[in-house]
Amino acid sequence: LNATTAAANAFAVTVAGSAATVTGVTVNGSTVEMTLQNAVTNGQAVTVAYTDPTANNDANAIQDAAGNEAETLAAQNVTNNVPDSTAPVFQSAATSNDGTKVILTYNEALNAATAGTSDFAVNVGGLAATVTGVTVNGSTVELTLQAAVTNGQAVTVAYTDPTGGNDANAVQDSAGNDAVTLAAQNVTNNVPNSSPTIGAIPGTTQEVTTGVAAALPDFTVNDADGGNLTVTLTSTNGSISGVADADAGTAGIQITGTAAQINTALAAATFTATAAGAATVGLSVSDGIAAPVTATYNLNATAPVVPPVDPPVEPPVIPPAAPGATITNPDGTTTTIPTGTGGTTSITSPAPGSTVTITGSGDTTVTSPGPTVTLNNTGTGTVTTTGFTGGSTLNVTGTGSQHIDMTGLQPGDVITINNTGSGTVDLSNLPDGVVVNIVGTGPVVLNDNDGTSASVESMVPSLLANGVTGDGNGDGTPDALQSNVASVPFLETSTAVSNPAGAPPVFISLIADSKDGMIDTTNNLTATLSNVQQLDAPANLPADLQMPLGLISFDSTINIVGATATFSLFVDSSISLNGYWKQNTAGVWCNLATTIVTEGGKTRLDFAITDGGEFDADGIANGVIVDPGAVGSMPQSIVGISAVANNTGFWF
């Protein structure tokens, strides 16, 4: 073509249906090149048209080298050779209807080769969701989730382009342009709502009693969507209790929360029928979206059976008993029995819980399984307890001048003596382990046969700050009632017998068969104490051995010949000591103390002696341990071993 050609206005170019401005025209061989003001982009539709400016051959037209003009050209389609360099653009995201997928939609078809699961971040209900697969379907990317989304859950999705450049392992279009990184985008939740359900409604009618609260079956509600529910309970011919009403202004009882929370509340519900006849409990559950689901549970109420009322039974009127008579109160009710003036009247009250009151002047023997006996007669009364197995309680009240002997109690029983009369209650035969509470002011004999009078033992300071005087070891039982506990006043001098010289008194408390200062009830050994007394310290003591209380002498009788008995000794904490000292058969002073502790202002020493062993003074395995020993102090030996009953360590 001729280099001189038509002007720009001779050409008409359209791009995507709109006119494009031609800014220049050049001829290159057989081609005419038009320069556009705006570049064409990939995929745009382009046309071109040409109008010959004159009818004749004209140098200002398209013409060949010979001057022949090209004809006018109607609009012709132009092949668009502009390559695709535009990244696909994200349009929207939504879940599949079943909630198993999150689907991302872009503005153009995508390459089947795409990004990996780790390049996507899906969040469901505020928690990260695991993506297990990625597939491309046209212009969409489908993410398969490990756990399906449920209705109403908030969902977001984000995508990270794995590399800075175009990469086959990324979301890209068919031309290989990578989609850009996508910040978290909201996902439309297309999962439809599931209606809640009600379960465990029995098909049978429950029988209930009017006026009596009856437990209901374990009704349950469930919601596949996991949202909050509202349950309404209603009833006919009765009322529902045991559950709180969340909305008192609405008919029925309203319970709100998750299915689990509501099921917990329903488990506590009870129904009380008002009258005999049919009754119902209705349940309605709503998730606020679907229509409420309802169920009805049927009940049948009957009136309670009223047992016949027996006429009152008048207590039997019993005439004064003849001497030697035996009277039985068979039903255990309270009966007052006047005794005769001579002989002995025996009264048996076999039913536990009986109350027997005895008046008159005759002698009386009461055999009672407890728990209350009151003696008002002036004769001799003997209360023999039966049916007590340890741990039982007996209350005995004496108001007259009678002498009351107590027998038949067992270790662990508790007896309360309220003697307000002038007679004496004799507790000298009680076994060890009986707990006695004395609340009256009348005389009570407490003789435990340990050689120390009850009046003396009753003065020992208590081990406990809030304890009772007379309980030296703090076990809750007066020492005067325990034959294996002896509390004795000693003089604070080593010569209490030969030269007391006005030494102040100080109590010691000795316990036989002990464990940590208390009577040991875990073994088969029983022990009693007798002849507990203070002796002078020996004249030939080692110079460094101090015995501030002299010797403590006692006998202990045990029920197993040759056995080893454990003893505890409480002394005032002001006494200086570091052991319990005894001479062995070789004449060496040994420390038998295995424990020395301070308790309640007193020092407790624990030691053991074997019947017939080297520290048993009689040297014979005969069931009697004879012990003169001493609390005292002596510098620790070079051996450095505290001697015990079988130890050969010496102390100098």
pLDDT tens digits for range 404-450: 666 667 666 677 776 676 666 666 666 656 666 676 666 665 656 67
Q: What is the DSSP letter of 550?
A: -
The answer to whether the CB of 602 falls within 8 A of the CB of 571 is: yes
- Residue 455 scores a pLDDT above 50: yes
136 in any annotated domain: yes
Check whether residue 259 and residue 171 sit in a common domain: no
436 in any annotated domain: yes
Check whether residue 517 and residue 593 sit in a common domain: yes
Check whether residue 395 and residue 348 sit in a common domain: yes
Check whether residue 541 and residue 592 sit in a common domain: yes
- Residue 364 scores a pLDDT above 50: yes
559 in any annotated domain: yes
Check whether residue 247 and residue 157 sit in a common domain: no
68 in any annotated domain: yes
pLDDT tens digits for range 573-625: 999 999 999 999 888 999 999 999 999 889 999 999 999 999 999 999 999 99
Structure tokens at 573: 């904490």
Round to whole Å and give the CA distance between 102 and 190: 10
- Residue 629 scores a pLDDT above 70: yes
Check whether residue 68 and residue 101 sit in a common domain: no
Instruction: Report, as an integer, the average pLDDT of 202-227.
Output: 90
**What per-residue confidence (pLDDT) applies to 55?**
81
pLDDT tens digits for range 379-397: 555 666 655 555 566 666 6
Check whether residue 147 and residue 282 sit in a common domain: no
The domain in which residue 486 lies consists of 479-632
Q: Residue 227: give its domain's CATH number.
A: 2.60.40.1080
The model carries a pTM of 0.39
Check whether residue 493 and residue 591 sit in a common domain: yes
Check whether residue 506 and residue 624 sit in a common domain: yes
Round to whole Å and give the CA distance between 453 and 447: 7
pLDDT band at 83 (very low <50, low <70, confident <90, very high): confident
Neighbours of 280 (CB within 10 A): 15
641 in any annotated domain: no
Check whether residue 342 and residue 250 sit in a common domain: no
**Per-residue b or e along 411-422, where b marks 16 or more CB atoms closer than 10 Å to that residue's CB:** eebebbbbbebe
Check whether residue 145 and residue 273 sit in a common domain: no
Instruction: Report, as an integer, the average pLDDT of 207-221.
Output: 91
The answer to whether the CB of 603 falls within 8 A of the CB of 576 is: no
Instruction: Report, as an integer, the average pLDDT of 79-105.
Output: 95
Check whether residue 160 and residue 201 sit in a common domain: no
431 in any annotated domain: yes
269 in any annotated domain: yes
Closest CA to 625 of 580, 526, 558: 558
**Tally of domains in the chain:** 5
296 in any annotated domain: yes
Round to whole Å and give the CA distance between 147 and 158: 18
Q: Which residue has the tokens 């025209």?
A: 25
Q: Residue 170: give its domain's CATH number.
A: 2.60.40.1220
